[in-house]
Structure 1
């Protein structure tokens, strides 16, 4: 089938049928993540791919809510050998306490050429009992010790320290472009392009009409080949991956989806040049009065691959320049006004400042790359050197047997070929490690600039002294509760405090008031509250300058009633609401 036909078949399977039977080609360009059960029927006519396929089958089997069975034709000679291999691998896995054994099966069968054994079974070259006996390895302490030494403890340990992994996942969760941002962008841009949609009662989007301009972009051959085709409509769509997994009948729209990619392409064509000319925004908080410049920074490694890309936002006013979070844009109000603008710095001067930011970004990437390189050196290079040493010894022993008159030429050639592959792999790994830590930056690309004026809405303007008092009270309370709070208010992450306790992390937005007036969440804060749910807390400090009272509201996005004020891009909570729903401490 062509790509277009495969996508149609995928939709038919998802919406109308219960079972799909397909070759491996079905996996090219289509998404079968909605599948509940996947069965891989593996007929071993091509033993050359045995290790690769078995490793892949096992990894698929670890996916949540997806079950993968490996069915082997056991009534054949080669099937019987494969069955024995699987049984032995399971025994080794249980002894090691690590599933990694399935990814390196050729390495755990020391001195056994699996490819050769299956060939001998297929060709009747040896007695089947002898072949099976060759696979009957004794899994004792000495054997486990050899595996640990050669593959490294990381592949053979039952317990893994997940602390660093959890920290990285938490950081990614905080900084990534969450679905709420993508959905809001889509709604605004889609309407601008002339599309029609409505929000269903269940929260899904019903996309009723696709604009002609988007269809035209999607008809391009290269576009279809890369992203697929756009449907006539999407009666049930979501931008949240977790919701999509729970609702297989819903269309999951994110980066890579043909509709979103066509919309982004249309926006770029229609507005990219205008963006570079600038725009005017108003800051309801009254904090910003200057220009925000946007640049794209890129870091590449020695292989020419992109190691990282980041949008840099630089705020410039009479006091100089500083980096701000690009998400600040969500908290500003677009304005149509004409005024003569005098800018203190030129684009080239700001670009020079952006170079410094990209250099800092490169340092962070390099730190992680060097950490990964050490792991590859410790385990990858060490393992390959060990195997090469083992093969040298085995070849030497075979040469001695040959000198005594034994016909072991085939075995010698096999060992030498295996050694050559390991040496080549070692050479490539060393080169790859060197290339991955050899990072360079490109000149930051100018994306656009906006002029920001302070608010003309006094009720939205905050008081720095009152806000400082509120932060002090919130930080003190967190420490008293045995948690470790970190003030991140200047980073504009959508919360002010990241507070870590035993088995929990709180994302806290602090709102302080001179009296007991309403509080306002920015779009950025509201999006994060919706995303983090039970992890997100709103701390309201009332009567901050006289007799401070602290109110705690958990999961405010779902537990409070908000009034959306579009003209100032804020979500307002009345004092009656936050006092009644909040826990007073």
Structure 2
């Protein structure tokens, strides 16, 4: 304990600012029981305090310790030393992320991160390994390695909406990385007005950003150390003559590339068999190098320095054995019975006629009807029971629509104009059916496709709808006959879970 009378100029005192040692500049007594003290802290910042007798218990005169006295708390010293060791671990362990993550990476994953991506500064790269190669693990290892090397702090992951939660879970579970998922609600509630600026580790939905100009404006005002785009082939553009038709996703890709230092695109299908479109895709990484339309013979392209692609046959375990079993493509033939062949022909005629009628519709409705008829063809190849149930549901839905149309027509008192009464009810179908399907899970897609098959029709008047219903009734009766006959052929077992590399042909279906 130190008395107020012992406070002198240049004295080193502990207790005025916690455990800091401050230097007294001057002391002004205020009566016998108080003093106004002026001091400077270790950082040179001045301060002042009014001290009373009751404060004497917390004051003590600091004593100069001997350098290298080894009298500091051992536990605190060890903790500090361990933190410093971990901070510099990458200098001694070049694969620190592997040893500090909850994963057991395979050889191709290690080579992708530590041989193909980390040495590139800045990184502008396409990771295009086959599906199942573990591109998410590679991205997680890269992110963790960059964080430990202090080469990245602000990281944005852009993925399809159905994969955002999977990304968040895997990064936390396998790499201990806490990422927030961007949402409209979080943006509205953030204090700064720009949630992208507030968060250093963020996951965003691809279409949510590409379809919202306000979000893109906020993104323009931010800078990122690393942006990873999953399923990056969705950010495509196409040539129409010499003009580039840029999709909203492609424009988003250009924006993302302009606000980040490291840019990683991940896709299992980088090439769509059109070299000019592939060059456009690569322009997201290097606009100068891939400027202009590709011309065969005039342009020579070497992308080995900015893209890696390994097919499943090249992926090996550490013992040198193949990671995946050998793939064998084959055609599974089966022969339709006479009843099935007749049903196949009649349903095909129905689909063909409806397709011809759909050609006269506007663009969006034409695509919807075409999608529905294509789904009917798939049901036809599946089994007689499947096509029977689909035809039955479609007939019932169209009968319900016909009843609604007749009721509305009666209400308007225009019975004589029934032939001109157009269908008003439409299904809420997005502009691009393929893009919408990409955002749905398997169960969601099947339920959505079922709705389209049941309701989409090219019929625009009551007589047209009545005629289509009669055609469906005949097809439904034919399909029921096939099902009840027990003469359906046995489909190849592989068809029910048909792999992407197999194909089917149906003999006797001409």
Q: Tell me the TM-score range normalised by the shorter chain.
A: under 0.3
More contact order relative to length (CA 8 Å, sep ≥ 6): 2
Radius of gyration: which is bigger?
2
**TM-score, normalised with respect to structure 1:** 0.20
Counting strand residues as a fraction of each chain, which structure ranks higher? 1
Counting helix residues as a fraction of each chain, which structure ranks higher? 1
**TM-score, normalised with respect to structure 2:** 0.23
